[in-house]
Amino acid sequence: MNRAYGIYALRRVVQAAVVILLAYVFTFVVISVLPGDPVTNTLRNPQNGFTEEEITRIVSYYGLDRPVYVQLWESLSRFVTGDLGISLRSGLPVSRLVGEVLPSTIVLALSALAVAVLLAFAVAFGTRYLPVRYGQGLLRAFPSLFLSVPNYVIGLLLINVFAFQLGWFRVIDAEAVLPTFFAAVALGIPVSARVAEVLIANLDHEAGQEYAAVARSRGLGQTRLFFRHLLKPSSLPVVTVIALTVGELLGGAVITEKIFGRTGIGSLVERSVTTQDLPVLQAVVALAAVVFVVVNLLADLVYPLLDPRVRPRDKEVVAS
């Protein structure tokens, strides 16, 4: 671990922190200029049942009776310390509401990512070593097929076949292992398309290099050639692609949770949109930005460790 990499990592961390803050500010500004007043639309709506004392407390907490820039500063200060605010609908801390549903979404997203990576690597391996008729034709068309089918269509198809016709799982028990697996499959299949396309392209490139030809001339088997020589250099760009697909996983999780009846961030967002609970919406958007930026930061930090060709040098860091 050299000094150049330390400076590079520090700069990436600072840049990530700035991006997160700017994303929060942008979200706050967009919500602030939306038509309608949260006090009028939510707090003083008789159907919500807020008392004058509760309204006064919430207005004072958010500084809704003060200029927008003061509200922004106070909101940003609370966000930095981990305070996500208070729900205008339930009066409960937003961090509590998010904390109750976040584990379910994390399990679904990580499971979908595992499905996507395994499926992409299986397809890529098949394109190299299955007979030409299948490997070069049928399997290479799979990524385009996966990308063209929305995850909600896949989800409805899986529910119809495996829940209603085969009876493998019950829709009302959405948090069980099998429903979670099929929800992850529905979410992971479209995501696997981009990973597979990048991996297949890089495998084709690496297979044409001289070191691959030398390995074949020495009698190295196809499987050993794949795992010992072709896989690692071909997988490096996949790290970046996986990091970029995190946003797609989070967005797709909202729809997939609704289809499979899971209680996660998707149900919280839907409920917050319906009731115009702006603090909850702002917190969810901010957390999504944090996750996306942090994952891409990790990819930026790991990539130079995996590939010495892009590892920063002292002279390059000083010059930049």
Instruction: Report the pLDDT value the prediction gives residue 312, as an integer from 0 to 100.
Output: 62
Q: How far apart are CA 161 and CA 10, in angstroms?
A: 50
Please indicate, yes or no, if residue 271 is contained in any of the structural domains.
no
Q: Does 27 share its domain with 78?
A: yes
Please indicate, yes or no, if residue 131 is contained in any of the structural domains.
yes
- Residue 264 contacts by C-beta under 8 Å, 6 or more apart in sequence? 101, 102, 104, 105, 108, 253, 257
Query: Chain centroid to CA 239: how far?
Result: 14
Q: Does 110 share its domain with 251?
A: yes
Question: pLDDT tens digits for the chain (320 residues)?
Answer: 577 778 888 888 888 888 888 888 888 777 766 555 555 566 666 666 667 777 777 777 766 667 777 778 888 888 888 888 778 777 788 888 888 888 888 888 889 989 988 988 888 888 877 776 655 667 777 787 787 888 888 888 998 888 888 888 887 777 788 888 999 999 888 888 888 888 888 887 777 777 777 777 777 777 777 777 777 777 777 887 888 787 777 777 778 888 888 888 888 888 887 777 778 888 888 888 888 888 888 888 877 776 666 666 544 444 45
Of the residues 215, 231, 263, which one is the last residue of a structural domain? 263
Q: How far apart are CA 315 and CA 320, in angstroms?
A: 9
Please indicate, yes or no, if residue 98 is contained in any of the structural domains.
no
Please indicate, yes or no, if residue 268 is contained in any of the structural domains.
no
- Structural domain harbouring 134: 105-263
Phi, psi of 169 (to 5 degrees): -150, 165
Please indicate, yes or no, if residue 185 is contained in any of the structural domains.
yes
Please indicate, yes or no, if residue 297 is contained in any of the structural domains.
yes
Please indicate, yes or no, if residue 100 is contained in any of the structural domains.
no
Q: Does 73 share its domain with 221?
A: no
Q: Does 205 share its domain with 281?
A: no
- Supply the DSSP symbol for 172: T
Helices and strands per DSSP (H, E), number in the chain = 16, 0
Q: Does 31 share its domain with 136?
A: no
Instruction: Report the pLDDT value the prediction gives residue 239, as an integer from 0 to 100.
Output: 80
Q: Does 197 share its domain with 255?
A: yes
Q: Does 110 share its domain with 248?
A: yes
Q: Does 117 share its domain with 259?
A: yes
Q: Does 126 share its domain with 82?
A: no
Q: Does 89 share its domain with 110?
A: no
Please indicate, yes or no, if residue 13 is contained in any of the structural domains.
yes
Instruction: Report the pLDDT value the prediction gives residue 319, as an integer from 0 to 100.
Output: 47
Query: Chain centroid to CA 132: how far?
Result: 35
Paired tokens of 278: 């702006």
Q: Does 312 share its domain with 281?
A: yes
State the total domains in the chain: 2
Instruction: Report the pLDDT value the prediction gives residue 216, as an integer from 0 to 100.
Output: 73
Q: Does 287 share its domain with 220?
A: no
